[in-house]
Structure 1
């Protein structure tokens, strides 16, 4: 290892970081790995002292992170389901059953196979209410609107 040029050490480090990204994906090590590879290539081409290598690595890492952030932000914005990982926001608009009387201060509703705190309403046990929003871990609900029966039909 004593005979190894610093540029090759940067290249080996960059490849190891890319391998680590494949083994434990987190989309972060790839930026540092690319910066290390670029620094290694530049060092092999121009033979720079260590201080310049570290400065160059820092610049490459910042640029790689900024580019990656921009690309990742564009991909996230183009999602066909922007609420995919926001379970609570996905519940807004759903009709649920009251378990404990719901009023402006408290109550409980059944959502799927779980129970949630709720307020708003009013709603008595067994009635259906619609989720209108969320306040922390408490669902905001209102009575479901029902159409009056049609006359003569």
Structure 2
């Protein structure tokens, strides 16, 4: 082991680990590593202020990590993060209420409609090609329509 590593004060190791964990949260976001990083930084501060041995520091880190994770989880459960656009990744859901033009007539309940520069399969009452239809809902990759 290098001399600089064996001579390193434990509080510097905790502070370094804490900063690295917080930085890792930026690279791999999951809102988890930041709390372990906070616990490691707090352990480093306590190790600097109080003369405690490494085994006790590990115990302090374990307790602080548990408290931080439990508190964060409880707070997020009571204060959920609400999306400003809940249909962001649901293209079909975003089309509900839109008026589309049938490219292929709806026969036996199935047809195709123009959406932007493409076509989507639609399901609804029989209608002729070129008819305007309104999207009522989306089921998977199929749009449910009605006459507009």
Aligned residue number for residue 14 of structure 1: 18
Matched positions, count: 141
The TM-score with structure 2 as length reference comes to 0.73
Q: After superposition, where does 1:132-147 map in structure 2 within 5 Å? A: 132-144=136-148
Is the contact made by 2:109 and 2:126 (CA closer than 8 Å) also made in structure 1? no
* TM-score of the pair, normalised by structure 1: 0.71
Question: What residue in structure 2 maps to residue 148 of structure 1?
Answer: none
SS in 1 for 2:81: helix
Q: Could you give the per-residue CA deviations for residues 97-124 of structure 1, whole angstroms, max 9, x where no partner exists?
A: 1112225642211111222121113222
Structure 2: 5+ residue stretches without partners = none
Indicate how the Cα distance of structure 1 residues 65 and 2 shifts in structure 2: closer, same or farther if over 3 A, else same. Answer: same
CA drift at 1:88: 2.4
Q: 1:27: how far off? A: 4.9
Note the C-alpha offset of 1:30.
2.2
Q: Is the counterpart of residue 37 in structure 1 residue 41 in structure 2?
A: yes
Matched, 1:90 2:94: yes
What are the residue-to-residue correspondences of 1:110-149 with 2, within 5 Å?
Answer: 110-144=114-148
Q: Which consecutive residues of structure 1, in runs of 5 or more, have no partner in the other structure? A: 145-153
1-side partners of 2:47 and 2:128: how far apart? 73
CA distance, structure 1, for counterparts of residue 107 and residue 61 of structure 2: 60
Distance 1:73 1:143, change over 3 A: farther
Question: By how many angstroms is 1:93 displaced?
Answer: 0.8
CA contact (8 A) 1:121 1:129 kept: no
CA RMSD of aligned residues (A): 2.9
How far apart are 1:80 and its partner, in Å? 4.2
